[in-house]
Amino acid sequence: MYSLLIKPILFSLDAEYSHDLTLSNLNRIPSIFFPKTIHAPYECMGLNFPNRVGLAAGLDKNGAYIDALAKLGFGFIEIGTITPRPQAGNPKPRLFRIPSKKVIINRMGFNNEGVDALISNVKRAKFDGVLGINIGKNKETPLDKAADDYIFCMNKVYTHASYITINISSPNTPDLRKLQQADYLHNFIAEIKDQHLRLADKHKAYKPLVVKMSPDESEETMQAIAESLLKNNIDGLIATNTTCSRQGLTDEHNKDEAGGMSGELLASKSSTVIRMMHEFLDDKIPIIGVGGIVDVDYAKQKIDAGAKLVQIYSGLIYQGPSLVTKIASALS
Ligand SMILES: Cc1cc2nc3c(=O)[nH]c(=O)nc-3n(C[C@H](O)[C@H](O)[C@H](O)COP(=O)(O)O)c2cc1C
């Protein structure tokens, strides 16, 4: 039904408009039209996942659609990226599809309503499954003060999240990816971990802390990331965010738009990163594999590369919601 009826309509509209339209109408569709959540329990990071397929960050930045998205059968949902203060993001248009390659290019720039708005939404939601909250920094916060923004958000979301993701890999916030480089990374992660342990103690509840990385880093940087995660007892790694590469695109409309590319052309790049990080981490920290999963085989490729869980975003846009249960049963 999605490919035949819904997708042609949505793809005839502006990408961001159709995205907002879909999310705001998802709630109106009765649950009987959605397949039952696949029950294939999986334990990871001390959390119990009903299945191994999650929603990647960025689709529901403010956590405004959690209950609607839960109907799609995800084993976990990640909301955000959220920043301390609301921000508008980059000027529109900032979201582009390339359907012939099942690719999306976005330069949203952490458009969000701020952490307090997200918390109100989470409080209102009835969802009681695994909820990740992905946090970032405001655009104008300088890099040497970035940890303050992450700590501000972490303090606020701690009791509301099942796990917390430190996003240092968006290509659309100037210089953000520099936080992944050894000169910044070690102190930055140590500072956040320190506060994380304080929060665990204060609330007498341990919420796993996860880092999300980019697929565009050198082997040296990947090694530095692995070292930092191991040294600071980080609980998980999400690999990967979108890429700045345009490999695989030739003369498609929109191919020269600035931003991060996601979808099928990201798949092998992100799987290579997962394979290398799995080796550098010596299988001591679980990896959530994301990037280009547009069918079951790509999800299996992530698991073969060393991922324990997977997340999807672009695949949902191109293949529709049935992809969630297809992958969840294939990985069960
Ligand atoms: C429009 C759009 C917005 C995104 N926003 C975020 C974000 O706010 N935070 C984040 O960590 N990742 C964000 N992502 C990256 C996705 O979570 C995911 O890592 C990436 O798209 C690769 O997965 P995919 O190929 O399945 O889409 C965004 C992706 C897209 C397409």
Instruction: Determine the atom of ligand 1 nearest the C-alpha atom of 56.
Output: 17
User: What average pLDDT is seen over the chain?
Assistant: 96
More confident residue, 10 or 54: 54
Structure tokens at 256: 């020269």
Residues having CB closer than 6 A to ligand 1 are 56-58, 61, 81, 95, 104, 106, 108, 134, 167, 170, 212, 241-242, 262-263, 266, 290-293, 312-315
pLDDT at 310: 98
pLDDT at 326: 97
Distance 31 CA to ligand 1 centre (A): 26
pLDDT at 28: 87
Hey, whose CA ends up nearest to atom 1 of ligand 1?
106
Q: Which one, of 126, 120, 122, 206, lies nearest residue 163 by Cα?
A: 206
Question: What percent of the chain is predicted at pLDDT more than 90?
Answer: 93
- The answer, yes or no, to whether residue 5 has pLDDT greater than 90, is no
Question: In the 8-state DSSP scheme, what is residue 6?
Answer: I
Instruction: Determine the atom of ligand 1 nearest the C-alpha atom of 315.
Output: 26
Residue 129 phi/psi, 5-degree rounding, is -90, -165
Separation between Cα atoms, residue 97 and residue 167, nearest integer Å = 23
Distance 57 CA to ligand 1 centre (A): 6
Hey, whose CA ends up nearest to atom 11 of ligand 1?
57
Give, for ligand 1, the residue of 104, 241, 266, 273 to mutate: max count of ligand atoms closer than 8 Å to Cβ.
Answer: 241
Distance 191 CA to ligand 1 centre (A): 26
Instruction: Determine the atom of ligand 1 nearest the C-alpha atom of 317.
Output: 27
Instruction: Determine the atom of ligand 1 nearest the C-alpha atom of 57.
Output: 17
pLDDT at 293: 98
162, 169, 170, 262: the catalytic one is 170
Element (H, E) at 241: none
- The answer, yes or no, to whether residue 202 has pLDDT greater than 90, is yes
- The answer, yes or no, to whether residue 1 has pLDDT greater than 80, is no
Contact 171, 242 (CB under 8 A): yes
Distance 263 CA to ligand 1 centre (A): 9
More confident residue, 32 or 199: 199
Known catalytic membership, residue 322:
no
pLDDT at 4: 80
Distance between terminal CA atoms of the chain? Answer: 25
Assessment of whether the complete model's pTM goes beyond 0.85: yes
Structure tokens at 186: 């070690």
Contacts of residue 65, Cβ cutoff 8 Å, sequence gap at least 6 = 23, 24, 26, 27
Separation between Cα atoms, residue 243 and residue 45, nearest integer Å = 27
Distance 238 CA to ligand 1 centre (A): 11
Residue 311 phi/psi, 5-degree rounding, is -130, 155
- Classify strands 130-135 and 209-213 as parallel, antiparallel or unpaired: unpaired
At residue 164 the predicted structure's pLDDT band, cuts being 50, 70 and 90, is: very high
Hey, whose CA ends up nearest to atom 5 of ligand 1?
58
Give, for ligand 1, the residue of 163, 313, 318 to mutate: max count of ligand atoms closer than 8 Å to Cβ.
Answer: 313
254: how many CB neighbours lie within 10 A of its CB?
Answer: 16
- The answer, yes or no, to whether residue 8 has pLDDT greater than 90, is no
More confident residue, 28 or 138: 138
Instruction: Determine the atom of ligand 1 nearest the C-alpha atom of 136.
Output: 9
Summarised one tens digit per residue, pLDDT across range 232-271 is 999 999 999 999 999 999 999 999 999 999 999 999 999 9
Give, for ligand 1, the residue of 138, 242, 245 to mutate: max count of ligand atoms closer than 8 Å to Cβ.
Answer: 242
Distance 58 CA to ligand 1 centre (A): 5
